[in-house]
Amino acid sequence: MTTSRGPSVSFAAGAGNWAGGPEVYDGDGQFAGYGRDTRTVTPHGDGTVHVDVAFDGPFAFAGTYTIVDTGTRRRYAGPLNVGLAEPLGSFAVDAHNHWPQLGLTQRFLLMVLPDGQRQLSLALLNRGERLVWAVVGENRKDGAVTEAMDPAARPADLLFRPGAWEGTVQVLDRDLQSAGEVSMTETYEQGGVVGLSGSPFDERTLAVHWERDPTSAWTGAGPVAGSLSLFGGRALAGSLLHHEVELRCWRREVVATDGLTKAVAHLWFRGGERVGATVGSLEFRCR
């Protein structure tokens, strides 16, 4: 595979100086405090990208690393960060990487919102199979840090509050190449009922009945079964089995600090084989 000449579209969107005050949660999903995240992303014309990053909070690291863009893959070439990433459309990335300073591996979703001035992210940091930290981030391109309201003081459930999340998301095929767009709606009601519609991988309109506690949600009745980890009512990660169509959906979602926009990345699998993805942002509407 040849190295691309010049930065990809999503790198062009992510280039510049970014800063944020992310929420950090421990391995049990409990709020551990705020961080301070600053990074400078500089694409070069030879298909490489240089990243300077500093993070301080319940844990800390700082340094630089290089990303080699091969078009369909990105290699984190160290020294601070090593691993691989795949673009999800033109504005998001799904990374599997390792931070040697921390001794932690990471599954990382990063999405630039349509305004081009905000990034939403969810970092799941593990040692082996044990979750150590989850970082829910919102970085701004102007460098101004927007610190979220303390999770204990804001509405407890930005993800599951009554209303609807609506928008148009990109559809990607098994190779994460564009396969069009689709309208998506998630309707939430009192009592943990969620209406899901708009997936080309499961075209039914589904009613999902959730059981929840502050750090998790699970369901087993109806057309889907599975469970989610919840982080401060602003982010989730987990898998749902759509058993009637024999597909598994690995979901990650992050709500912006204003509570009005949600980044979604839903990766669909049949067994261990990826069949596609739906990726984009949804807007909240009261009902």
Residues with Cβ within 8 Å of residue 209, at least 6 apart in sequence: 192, 193, 219, 221, 222
Per residue in 123-135, pLDDT tens?
999 999 999 999 9
Rounded mean pLDDT of 36-44?
92
Cα separations in angstroms, 284 against 84, 170, 238: 33, 18, 21
Residue 149 has pLDDT above 80, yes or no: no
**Residue 9, pLDDT score:** 43
Q: Which residue has the higher pLDDT, 198 or 88?
A: 88
| Angstrom distance (rounded) from CA 138 to CA 154 | 17
Residue 46 has pLDDT above 50, yes or no: yes
Q: What is the DSSP string of 39-72?
A: EEEEE-TTSEEEEEEEEESSS-EEEEEEEEE-SS
Task: Of 38, 253, 61, give the one whose Cα is nearest residue 140.
Answer: 38
Mean of per-residue pLDDT scores for the chain? 89
Q: Which residue has the higher pLDDT, 11 or 116?
A: 116
Task: Of 44, 19, 47, 48, give the one whose Cα is nearest residue 34.
Answer: 19
Residue 2 has pLDDT above 60, yes or no: no
Q: Which residue has the higher pLDDT, 157 or 123?
A: 123
pLDDT band of 173, cuts 50, 70, 90: very high
* Amino acid at the residue 216: S
Residue 39 has pLDDT above 60, yes or no: yes
Per residue in 111-120, pLDDT tens?
999 988 999 9
**Residue 132, pLDDT score:** 98
**Residue 56, pLDDT score:** 97
Contact criterion met (CB below 8 Å) for 186 and 199: no
**Residue 47, pLDDT score:** 81
Residue 183 has pLDDT above 60, yes or no: yes
| Angstrom distance (rounded) from CA 182 to CA 160 | 22
